[in-house]
């Protein structure tokens, strides 16, 4: 079986380091590994509109931001198909049929949707489109026959929902759809990177992000005001590592050789943690180290972005070409789905033949 990737992001803002460690960095590695037959990267504008219906300009303006972030990180249009969801109308058609395979109760149980409804204060007025976005996500994934979805932990219930739809579809209509697997980050700290405020998830909607495009000064300021251990008041106090965002970020980003470069007095992260727990290590020193670590990772991305920003029409060309390509693939899947569902009346010579026989016989 072919190995195919589908993954993407909502154009509701620039991409942040949570996206980077949760999915983006992995995508670039997989793209360059040559192990995949196809890599599809989707800018999910239609999904973004499900909770931004009254703010289309936000979605429209952020398409280019996401595309620039993608290509700054190394997603390469010669190796990956980068496209815009709304341009692939076949995806809506698939959703319309998949909706028959999912119950309202099942959608209500989806833990990610539950959390997001709370976060957006939607309790009493959930837009139907938002409520059903897990179904639309199943269409995105299956339209490309994706086997692999590199994503953060928050996407697990979505992929599970997709797998259920695939199994139900295939059992009713015959094997037409591919069941995907989620590919989670291997580093525990990257499954769900917390925000700079210590909240459970760095998220555009929560305003607790370090953006890939933040300049050096902004990065320094954000790190210096980051949440650590609220009880670690004096340098000599023993400090907590658990729930201490600065250490979680070091788990996510630091490399052993960076200790030699910036903190040669420590053999590695374990030793730094032990010192902090014992007392005698101040937050500022750890934060300065984190700044150096992140600066190393983000500086090349920033520089690449500056280059790409010089030719915006080219980025739109890339997106148009990607969308044309994606549309062809999705159309093939839709046709397969309609054949399986027997809504292919005009292509089914056998249907017409059998019915004419029947009426002749009467
Ligand atoms: P929004 O608030 O608009 O939902 P978001 O910041 O949650 O935005 P999405 O576009 O919903 O971002 O997520 C895109 C991808 O990035 C998904 O694969 C998701 O799992 C991953 N991701 C987002 N935030 C994090 C995070 N904090 N840690 C790890 N992965 C993340
Ligand atoms: Mg999200």
Interval 154-165: pLDDT, tens = 999 999 999 999
Helix (H, G, I), strand (E, B) or coil at 84: strand
Residue 151 forms part of a structural domain: yes
DSSP per-residue letters across 280-323: ---HHHHHHHHHHHHHHHHHHHHHHHHHHTT-HHHHHHHHHHHH
Domain limits for position 112 = 4-192+311-353
How many CA atoms lie less than 13 Å away from 266 in the CB half-sphere? 21
Q: Is 23 in the pocket of ligand 1 (CB under 6 A)?
A: yes
Position 122 scores a pLDDT of: 78
Residue 206 forms part of a structural domain: no
Q: Say if residues 102 and 157 touch (Cβ distance below 8 Å).
A: no
- What is the spatial distance between Cα 27 and Cα 34, in angstroms, rounded to a whole number? 12
Cα angle: 269, vertex 151, 134; to 5 degrees: 145
Interval 222-255: pLDDT, tens = 999 999 999 998 999 999 999 999 999 999 999 9
- Token code pair at residue 88: 């692939």
Q: Say if residues 49 and 59 touch (Cβ distance below 8 Å).
A: yes
Looking at the predicted structure, is the pLDDT value of residue 205 above 80? no
149 and 181: one domain?
yes
- Token code pair at residue 9: 């992001």
pLDDT higher at 86 or 350:
86
C-alpha 18 – ligand 1 centre gap (Å):
7
Residue whose CA is closest, atom 7 of ligand 1? 203
Residue 22 forms part of a structural domain: yes
29 and 177: one domain?
yes
285 and 330: one domain?
no
- What is the spatial distance between Cα 52 and Cα 86, in angstroms, rounded to a whole number? 14
C-alpha 44 – ligand 2 centre gap (Å):
11
Residue whose CA is closest, atom 13 of ligand 1? 9
Interval 44-53: pLDDT, tens = 999 999 999 9
**Can you name the residues that pair with 41 across neighbouring β-strands?**
7, 82
Position 321 scores a pLDDT of: 98
- Token code pair at residue 313: 């029409």
Cα angle: 108, vertex 111, 113; to 5 degrees: 65
* Of 210, 204, 214, 208, the residue nearest 195 (C-alpha): 208
103 and 230: one domain?
no
233 and 173: one domain?
no
C-alpha 265 – ligand 1 centre gap (Å):
36
298 and 339: one domain?
no
**Can you name the residues that pair with 189 across neighbouring β-strands?**
none
121 and 253: one domain?
no
Q: Is the pTM of this model over 0.85?
A: yes
Q: Is 201 in the pocket of ligand 1 (CB under 6 A)?
A: yes
179 and 34: one domain?
yes
221 and 114: one domain?
no
Interval 2-20: pLDDT, tens = 999 999 999 999 999 999 9
Position 238 scores a pLDDT of: 94
Helix (H, G, I), strand (E, B) or coil at 8: strand
pLDDT band at 200 (very low <50, low <70, confident <90, very high): confident
Interval 282-337: pLDDT, tens = 999 999 999 999 999 999 999 999 999 999 999 999 999 999 999 999 999 999 99
Q: Is 62 in the pocket of ligand 1 (CB under 6 A)?
A: no
- Give the closest ligand to the alpha carbon of residue 209: 1
Q: In the chain, how many domains are there?
A: 2
Which residues fall within 8 angstroms of residue 71, CB to CB, at 6 or more apart? 77, 82, 304, 308, 315, 318
C-alpha 275 – ligand 1 centre gap (Å):
33
Phi (first) and psi of residue 81, to 5 degrees: -95, 110
Interval 173-199: pLDDT, tens = 999 999 999 999 999 999 999 999 998
Position 79 scores a pLDDT of: 97
Looking at the predicted structure, is the pLDDT value of residue 123 above 80? no
10 and 118: one domain?
yes
- Token code pair at residue 27: 């995508």
- What is the spatial distance between Cα 102 and Cα 21, in angstroms, rounded to a whole number? 32
Q: Is 208 in the pocket of ligand 1 (CB under 6 A)?
A: no
Looking at the predicted structure, is the pLDDT value of residue 112 above 80? yes
- Token code pair at residue 30: 């997989």
- What is the spatial distance between Cα 305 and Cα 101, in angstroms, rounded to a whole number? 43
31 and 160: one domain?
yes
Q: Is 292 in the pocket of ligand 1 (CB under 6 A)?
A: no
Q: Say if residues 154 and 203 touch (Cβ distance below 8 Å).
A: no
Residue 360 forms part of a structural domain: no
Q: Say if residues 266 and 275 touch (Cβ distance below 8 Å).
A: yes
299 and 318: one domain?
no
Helix H or strand E encompassing 330: helix 312-340
Cα angle: 217, vertex 257, 276; to 5 degrees: 70
Sheet hosting strand 181-183, strand order edge to edge: 81-84, 38-43, 4-9, 148-150, 181-183
Looking at the predicted structure, is the pLDDT value of residue 257 above 90? yes
Q: Is 154 in the pocket of ligand 1 (CB under 6 A)?
A: yes
Mean pLDDT confidence for 61-70: 98
């Amino acid at each position: 079986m072919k190995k195919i990737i589908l993954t993407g992001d909502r154009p509701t803002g620039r991409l942040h380091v949570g996206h980077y460690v949760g999915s983006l960095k992995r995508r670039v590695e997989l793209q360059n590994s040559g192990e995949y037959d196809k890599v599809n990267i989707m800018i999910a504008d239609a999904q973004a509109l499900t909770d931004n219906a009254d703010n289309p300009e936000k979605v429209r303006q952020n398409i280019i931001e996401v595309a620039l972030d993608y290509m700054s990180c190394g997603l390469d249009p010669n190796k990956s198909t980068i496209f815009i969801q709304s341009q692939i109308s076949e995806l809506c058609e698939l959703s319309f049929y998949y909706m028959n395979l999912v119950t309202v109760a099942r959608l209500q149980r989806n833990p990610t949707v539950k959390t997001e409804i709370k976060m957006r204060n939607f309790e009493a007025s959930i837009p139907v489109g938002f409520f059903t976005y897990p179904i639309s996500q199943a269409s995105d994934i299956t339209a490309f026959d994706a086997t692999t979805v590199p994503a953060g932990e928050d996407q697990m219930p979505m992929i599970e929902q997709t797998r259920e739809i695939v199994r139900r579809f295939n059992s009713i209509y015959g094997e037409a759809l591919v069941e995907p697997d989620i590919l989670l980050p291997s580093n525990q700290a990257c499954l769900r990177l917390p925000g700079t405020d210590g909240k459970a998830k760095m998220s555009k909607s929560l305003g607790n992000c370090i953006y890939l495009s933040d300049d050096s000064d902004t990065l320094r300021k954000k790190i210096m005001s980051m949440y650590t251990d609220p009880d670690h008041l004096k340098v000599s106090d023993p400090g907590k590592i658990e729930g201490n965002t600065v250490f979680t970020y070091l788990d996510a980003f630091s490399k052993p050789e960076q200790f030699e470069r910036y903190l040669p007095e420590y053999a590695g992260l374990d030793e730094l943690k032990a010192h902090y727990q014992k007392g005698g290590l101040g937050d500022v020193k750890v934060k300065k180290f984190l700044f150096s670590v992140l600066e190393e990772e983000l500086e090349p991305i920033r520089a690449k972005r500056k280059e790409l920003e010089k030719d915006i029409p080219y980025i739109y060309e890339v997106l148009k070409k990607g969308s044309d390509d994606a549309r062809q693939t999705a159309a093939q899947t839709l046709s397969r789905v309609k054949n399986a569902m027997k809504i292919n009346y005009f292509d089914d010579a056998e249907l017409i033949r059998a019915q004419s026989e029947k009426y002749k016989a009467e």
